[in-house]
Chains A and B, each alone.
Chain A
Amino acid sequence: MLPTDPTKKLSFKRHITDGDLVIVYEKHDNMKAVKVSEKSVLENRFGVFKHSDWIGKPFGCKVSSHKGGFVYLLAPTPELWTLVLSHRTQILYIADISFVIMYLELIPGCVVLESGTGSGSLTTSLARSIAPTGHVYTFDFHEQRAMAAREDFERTGLSDLVSVGVRDIQGEGFPKDLIGRADAVFLDLPQPWLAIPSAGQMLKEDGVLCSFSPCIEQVQRSSETLASNFTDIRTFEVLLRTYEVREAKMEQCQTEEGTPGARPNKRKQRVSEASHWEQDKSDSHMVMARPSGEAKGHTGYLTFARLKCVA
């Protein structure tokens, strides 16, 4: 998924080959990850798509089914992956993910620790930010989840950048060999305060910790624990509002004189002559935007803190 391998990098000349991971795009809210395999087919409500028809086509192209239905084939990105991965747990979405990466000051070469791995939604973006020379050490105490995550990172081509460990981080803390090596630590755990002392040991001085918690009580306890070894303890909530855009023909208000926009004189008008609404003949269409009616109202609180520098 990352352009570390120059032969896989997006380009006008990059064509889909056997074995590529593609994101099949039907609609913005209907996508699917598919590994291209010469003999396979994809079946959906638009009909049957033969993978062999896809090979040799550029990414971003439109392909048709035997019935003439079509989908787009996109190159995977962490954003698309978050929308198509199999949900084994609650996951983080783009607004939280982006803010976390920014706030943790992750750049190529950084070492970052994470627990729990969950479905690997955040992990994928962590890997993108520290590539090609950094590393993500992610831990989950749920063996199957850890295994599924490893398989996913294999599929998305991130396994060189990510190590998945099975470990009870609240109970045992992070492994000792990571002490003092982390530029950043991220926690998405039910009782993060139990892991905070260990996280503090792992961090370099001035390294940043982030804890994601859905409930304010968790934030409260974490913040209290953080107060002893961390500074700059700040809690945020970040949400997204999306907008719907549509073009509409707006009727113009015509007065008796036919001057659009002139103020109608209410007193003098009888009903039949009252300013009437008429199709606008000048054919002026209007592009309008409004917030979508539904949105996520809450995901979780993000608590950040920096490890104190002691001289």
Chain B
Amino acid sequence: MSTTVEQQDNSNQNRRITWEGCSVLLDINDGDRLVFSRLTAGSIVKIGNKNYPLRPLIGCPFGSLFQVESGENGPSLARVISTAEDNNTEDKKECDLKEESRDNRALIDNNTAQTLTGEDIEGMRRQGASGNDIVEALIANSATFENKTSFSQEKYRLKKQKKYAPKVLLRRPFARSICDTYFKKYPARIGFLRVDTLSLILSFSNVTANSDVLVVDMIGGMITGAVAERLGGTGYVCNTYRGDSPYSIEIVRIFNFNDEINKRIVRLSLGELSGNGDLKENEMISSNQESLTFEESTEDKIASKIYKAAKPGEKASQDSINSWKENGFSSLIIAAPDVDAWSIVKEVLPFLSFSAPFVIYHQYLQPLATCMHNLQVEKMAIGLQITEPWLREYQVLPSRTHPHMQMSAFGGYILSGTKICNEKSTTQ
């Protein structure tokens, strides 16, 4: 088919089918739990109190849905095949919703509503009942289910489903899903950068194939990874740092970057970039960045060694360094929560080409305001702007459409602008 041809064209960055050793995001029960994993022969995911091998997920398309099954060889994940039938039930549900006439005035919630006991359920399990069978049995034995509004019926069903028939959705780890997941689970590690803010950063900085992007990424590699994804194995993302040790870019490992892309992720100390630094090699870095991102077992670690791609974050080559000094970078992105914005900009802006855009991210407004003011006073840039995106999600359902009751109220500030060539710099 023509599709497979195109998939191969853009190599494993855009692969739509998982492979052994690939990094995945597991979405358990509709976003209730998000887990980054690597698919290997021995890797597992823990749901409830059971361990499920991930091997059945290898070779499946991203987007596949899995449900738990208890087979002879213990609990396992099996792919759910969606059929036309599913779609019909969905349609039916919506018709029902439109003609709602019941209400819950007579509903009394007490613990006697459910006649199935925990033991009954265990019994069913032992006899090989599936999670869905149990959910149906629970519904059949609920005294109040019939009188619930169809909305609360649906809610009841979902709740039971999550407990007795959990579902696992296989997702592609892309900048979007990675940023989303970190924002939900460990926001501090990415400096509270929300995905819409990240998307603005990538636009304002004009990142595209063949760009040479200078970054100061002190948020775990979130920026570095997102930029490398957009470069697709062309150009460079150069992570610069003060002092001797580069900043961690552990998040980059979650992306499924091939060698071509990893080679485009390099590091360079500010000292070396400005040409006055000590050139002593610092080689001990980068290897101890394993840590907390992956829920890996020991076997996984051994396995992932076998599949190890070219390491991202090697030192930039002398050729690249020379070229950047001569031509300048085409974009600059700074995300350094703990360093004063102005003091970094002052140091790195000289390496940006004239007319090139830059973006500074911060979770506080004041450092950006000061930085913007100084850039204006020093006439270093134009088009300066501080923006803050606002993102709201909606529930869209027949007759029940409204914004989500809970929203993230803050996703960070960005200062963007374009470097200009003022008199001083033209004459140099």
Contacts and interface: CB of A to CB of B under 8 A. Distances in A.
Interface in B372-428: 372-373, 382-394, 396, 398, 401, 403, 413, 418-423, 426
Nearest to A244: B386
B62 A206 contact: yes
Given A99-B196, A102-B202, A206-B16, A12 B327 contact: yes
Contacts of B326: 11-13
Interface residues of A, number: 85
B61 A289 contact: no
B387 A242 contact: yes
Interface in A78-133: 78-79, 94-95, 97-99, 101-103, 105, 107-111, 125, 128-129, 131-133
Contacts of B387: 240-243
Interface string A269-307: 000000000000000000111000000000001010011
A9 to B, nearest CB: 7
A165 B327 CA distance: 38
A94 B203 contact: yes
Interface string B1-17: 11100110111011010
B199 A240 contact: no
Contacts, number: 256
A233 B393 CA distance: 11
Given A13-B326, A102-B199, A205-B63, A235 B230 contact: no
A213 to B, nearest CB: 11
B27 to A, nearest CB: 9
Question: Looking at chain A's contact residues, is the secondary structure mostly helix, strand, loop, or mixed?
Answer: mixed
Given A180-B3, A206-B61, A58 B391 contact: no
30 contacts: A2-B208, A3-B330, A4-B209, A10-B327, A58-B421, A60-B354, A61-B426, A62-B421, A72-B382, A99-B196, A101-B202, A105-B174, A108-B230, A108-B232, A109-B232, A129-B208, A206-B61, A220-B396, A223-B396, A224-B94, A227-B87, A227-B91, A234-B393, A240-B389, A241-B389, A243-B369, A243-B413, A245-B386, A289-B386, A311-B79
Interface of A: 2-4, 6, 9-14, 25, 28, 58-62, 72-75, 77-79, 94-95, 97-99, 101-103, 105, 107-111, 125, 128-129, 131-134, 180-181, 183, 204-206, 216, 219-220, 223-224, 227-229, 231, 233-243, 245-247, 287-289, 301, 303, 306-311
